[in-house]
Amino acid sequence: MSSPLMPWPLSPELLQDLAKVMTPTGVADYAALTLLSMAAGTYLSRGILWDQPDPYHYRWYERPQLKMGGLAGANGSKETRNIAHKLDEVDKNIVVFWGSQSGTAEGFASRLAREIALRFRQGTMTADLSDYDPETISQIPQSKLAIFILSTYGEGDPSDNTAEFWDWINKAQDVSLANVRYCAFGLGNSNYKFYNRVVDIVVQGLDRRGAQSLMPVGKANDAEGSTQEDFIGWKDDLFAVFKEQLGFEEGEMQYLPTLAVQEHESLEPIDLHHGEPDTPDGSKPSAQCSPVRPVTIANARELFEASDRHCLHLDLDLSSVPEFSYKTGDHLAIWPSNPDAEVERLLQVLGLAARRDVSISIRSLDSATKVRVATPTTAAALFRYYLEIGAPVNRDNVLGLASFAPTPEAKTYLLQLGQDKAAYANFINRTHVNLGRLLQLAAPETAWPALPLSYLVETLAPIQPRYYSISSSSVIAPRKPSITAIVSTTPVPENPEELVHGITSNYLLALSENRRDATHPHGLTYHLNGPSNALQGGKVFAHLRKSKFKLPRVGSSPLIMVAAGTGLAPFRAFIAERRQLQQIGREIGEMILFFGCRRPEEDYTYRDELAELQAALGDRLRIVTAFSRQPDTPRKYVQDRITECGDAVLRLLDEGANLYICGRAGMAREVEKTVGQAMQQAKGWSDSQWNDWSRAFKKRGKWQEDVWG
């Protein structure tokens, strides 16, 4: 049989003729052969003798802030990843490790480290768990102390920056931590099934390897709104351990800055950070997140019929951001700005209004302390784009502010408020005051010139992006993801005419209204063009985050989807994608959607669209609704409707359905309880049998949740 590259045999005569033709006969032939040989040699030596990979090519993709404040030290040298060596380098006795998804645990770590240093004069540093090799924790000497502040989110998951440490503490063999003394505090929400699972597992791993715990594990419960007070209570217990067990002497609390904020009028605008976001989820890159880029809002529309409540559907256009791509089920993060009124309030009360645009640089006074905001910048940019100035002031900070009070009356007011836990809780619940408003209440007609900007940068949390489930299918709209955002406005109990405005949702509402030349319904204004007009033309700073909340690969798999409120968003995408599969002749599985809201005529989002999809999909889609505030009708929630449709739910699960829940964590907990009761009753299972089944079901990715709060 002839070779596939030579479809017919060559005769000897033909070969002789070819040899004659191909034999060089003159100078031109030899020159041509020489050139061909040189070209071939050059091509074959590519990557060896020439066109070698640029060893510094990666620097095109590095962020400058990493060189200034991330993995590089102050002198430009690479930071050590050995935490024991780091403690020796910076001469610290205590390290506060943090694992944080939304920034709360990181903020607590910074607060704790600062207070330990001020109150007990102990050298203390914070440490992002992803900055250090976890095995080096075993080298921390017994003379030093490790503190862990760890958040739990989702289905008992560790934060992104805890992933490497999490793997190590769960899998490392033959590791002794006998010389490690530690304390631990966890952040969680009891509405989730795996409440504070991360800190529990970490503590078990530490204890199993011989580490010595100095006190019981502390836990915060966000479901009760007590996270701040839970932390303060645990911190007080920790300080008691310091005094009674470790013999630390407590001194008078005097503010000693860890940061220096200096004006530099010589800096040019091009040298400054005017408000552009740094990076998602901290200072380091993440495989889960895209870069932050300006993204155009292509379309915006109102979904609610009620005039006093707002829910937005926003379509974004990725045409100008070629590096962005998403998959159905992913999240899109919006970076907000603070409203003009709150920025002006803070500038006025601090006496900085006239110098709002003067250049300032922020540098660390301690080699172990990182600057968490962009620098150099201006006071106006700091308050508008980089710090969370709209959040309620925690009780620790109320007491801290007292030392800078401009009048004796203001100092007394703050001390009385901060020292009385019950009075403070009552005050915050009645007023929801943020920093600017609190300073005005304490000293109504007086500025606060003694309150240093460094204190605010140290104590206020950096502004965080808000994540939204993408409500479009990447198969249908690969370059136009959409999000669904309910606008948060809460009346102040003490003054119902005054509203507490959710930062990001009201920023998006202002953008939406501006598109049709209208104003925000409550008069809020923002710098919608963004820093240096980077957002001109209706853009937002955004980035994409990968999610595990995905459709099964097999389109014929049945789906059970449970949503309340804006939890409907990803299911709009799921159903639309299944419809697309059907249209190209693919077999699709049976689907049932449970959806709950207040009233059908008020907040049943995407109602007409879902009706069209249901008509097109026929018996492949069933929609079951639950309305909690329907007049003259008993309240119904999605878990009630699941009970009523229990036979259908169990049948689909037996047929291999995937179950998805999206919405508030409390709802998800009730849904799981309802499904569990139905399964136990139908199959005669015990609690342990149900728990074993659900655990295995979730491990296989058949039960997925995208929940919050």
pLDDT band at 57 (very low <50, low <70, confident <90, very high): very low
Average pLDDT over residues 186-203: 91
Q: What pLDDT sits at residue 41?
A: 55
User: What mean pLDDT value characterizes the chain?
Assistant: 88
Q: What pLDDT sits at residue 492?
A: 81
Cα–Cα distances (Å) from 131 to 64, 162, 458, in that order, read 17, 10, 21
Distance CA(109)–CA(459), nearest Å, equals 11
Give the DSSP letter of residue 618. Answer: G
- Judged against a pLDDT cut of 50, whether residue 508 lies above it is answered with yes
- Judged against a pLDDT cut of 60, whether residue 287 lies above it is answered with yes
Distance CA(72)–CA(88), nearest Å, equals 18
SS3 379: helix
Of 46-50, 101-105, 201-205, minimum mean pLDDT range: 46-50
Q: What pLDDT sits at residue 225?
A: 84
Higher pLDDT, 45 or 323: 323
- Judged against a pLDDT cut of 70, whether residue 566 lies above it is answered with yes
pLDDT band at 632 (very low <50, low <70, confident <90, very high): confident
pLDDT band at 191 (very low <50, low <70, confident <90, very high): confident
- Judged against a pLDDT cut of 60, whether residue 435 lies above it is answered with yes
Query: Of the candidates 99, 192, 325, which has an alpha carbon nearest to the alpha carbon of residue 663?
Result: 192
List pLDDT tens digits, range 59-90: 333 333 333 333 344 444 578 899 999 999 99
Q: What are the two backbone dihedrals, phi and then psi, of residue 246, each rounded to the nearest 5 degrees?
A: -100, -10
DSSP result, 188-204:
E-TTSTTTTHHHHHHHH
Query: Of the candidates 159, 157, 195, 187, which has an alpha carbon nearest to the alpha carbon of residue 666?
Result: 195
- Judged against a pLDDT cut of 60, whether residue 17 lies above it is answered with no
- Judged against a pLDDT cut of 80, whether residue 282 lies above it is answered with no
Please give the angle made by the CA atoms of 558, 559 and 564, to the nearest 5 degrees. 165
List pLDDT tens digits, range 642-658: 999 999 999 999 999 99
Count CB atoms within 10 A of the CB of residue 350: 22
Q: Give the end-to-end CA distance of the chain in Å, rounded to a whole number.
A: 71
Percent of the chain surpassing pLDDT 90: 74
Mind listing the domains of the chain with CATH numbers? Answer: 1-52 (no CATH), 70-244 (3.40.50.360), 259-285+338-459 (1.20.990.10), 559-708 (3.40.50.80)
Q: What pLDDT sits at residue 65?
A: 32
Beta strand 145-153 with 124-128: parallel, antiparallel or unpaired?
A: unpaired
- Judged against a pLDDT cut of 50, whether residue 245 lies above it is answered with yes
List pLDDT tens digits, range 371-402: 989 999 999 999 999 999 999 999 999 999 99
List pLDDT tens digits, range 586-607: 999 999 999 999 999 889 999 9
Q: What pLDDT sits at residue 25?
A: 61
Percent of the chain surpassing pLDDT 70: 88
Query: Of the candidates 312, 307, 311, 309, which has an alpha carbon nearest to the alpha carbon of residue 297?
Result: 312
Query: Of the candidates 223, 154, 189, which has an alpha carbon nearest to the alpha carbon of residue 549?
Result: 154
- Judged against a pLDDT cut of 70, whether residue 10 lies above it is answered with no
Q: What pLDDT sits at residue 568?
A: 97
Of 254-258, 293-297, 341-345, minimum mean pLDDT range: 254-258
pLDDT band at 448 (very low <50, low <70, confident <90, very high): very high
- Judged against a pLDDT cut of 50, whether residue 151 lies above it is answered with yes
Distance CA(297)–CA(667), nearest Å, equals 31
Query: Of the candidates 614, 622, 687, which has an alpha carbon nearest to the alpha carbon of residue 649?
Result: 622
Of 3-17, 571-585, 616-630, minimum mean pLDDT range: 3-17
List pLDDT tens digits, range 99-129: 998 889 999 999 999 999 999 999 999 999 9
Q: What pLDDT sits at residue 498?
A: 81
List pLDDT tens digits, range 356-366: 999 999 999 98
220 Cβ contact partners less than 8 Å away, ≥ 6 residues apart: 185, 186, 187, 188, 226, 227, 230, 231, 234
Distance CA(425)–CA(610), nearest Å, equals 44
The reported pTM is 0.84
User: 47, 53 in Cβ contact below 8 A?
Assistant: yes
Q: What pLDDT sits at residue 115?
A: 94
User: 440, 446 in Cβ contact below 8 A?
Assistant: no
Name residue, tokens 């139908």. Answer: 682
Average pLDDT over residues 519-528: 95
Query: Of the candidates 367, 411, 383, 436, which has an alpha carbon nearest to the alpha carbon of residue 89?
Result: 367
Query: Of the candidates 96, 128, 129, which has an alpha carbon nearest to the alpha carbon of residue 113?
Result: 96
Distance CA(507)–CA(520), nearest Å, equals 9
Distance CA(424)–CA(699), nearest Å, equals 43
pLDDT band at 52 (very low <50, low <70, confident <90, very high): very low
SS3 542: strand
User: 368, 89 in Cβ contact below 8 A?
Assistant: no
Per DSSP (E only), the strands in 10-135 are: 94-99, 124-128
